[in-house]
Amino acid sequence: MPETWVSAVADAIGKFGWSVSDAHESAIVVELTADASRVLQADDDERFVVLGWAEDTEGPHYGLSRDGIQVPILCLLGPDTDPAAIAARVDRLMRTGQPEARLVRHAIPYAALGSRCVCPTAHPCLGIVPNAHCPEHGDRQAPTMEWHWEENCGTVAAR
Ligand SMILES: [Zn+2]
Ligand SMILES: [Zn+2]
């Protein structure tokens, strides 16, 4: 892709607060934070999400990487080529583990959040995106919660 497009995507990702450690003609390398590693279930030595693209695919792909170069498993980020739309998907991916709004479920727990909660907060409903490893809301706890998809969040929040 052209250099201007690459730097526009990298800038847009940076505006969400993520650190782009490298951006060149075939890839953009974004540094994982501790929270992003947790939601993406990265291994301890996987420190980057790499965004790549090829002429004949439907949109950018992404994958976890140890060195910012090798990406063992690639997944489709989404069918966008617009830098702002791609950056929004990257931000959602890093916060929730999923690039698609319709794949992200928000939960509103019936009990107040405790101090051990590690789940990212969901906006605008002020619920959470449950983290599988959260000691309060993780897979093993199965607390009672009300669920909705991220793409419906606005209507829930308006109630
Ligand atoms: Zn939690
Ligand atoms: Zn919501």
Residues flanking ion ligand 2, Cβ below 5 Å = 106, 122, 125, 153
This prediction has a pTM of 0.84
Question: Residue ranges of the chain with pLDDT lower than 50?
Answer: none
**Strand pairing class (48-52; 61-65):** antiparallel
**Ligand 2 center to residue 99 CA distance, Å?**
15
**Ligand 2 center to residue 40 CA distance, Å?**
19
Can you give the pLDDT at residue 63? 97
Can you give the pLDDT at residue 36? 93
Can you give the pLDDT at residue 139? 83
Q: 130 is written with which tokens? A: 């449950």
Ligand with the closest atom to the CA of 130: 1
Give residue-wise pLDDT tens across range 80-91: 889 999 999 999
Can you give the pLDDT at residue 159? 59
Can you give the pLDDT at residue 56? 73
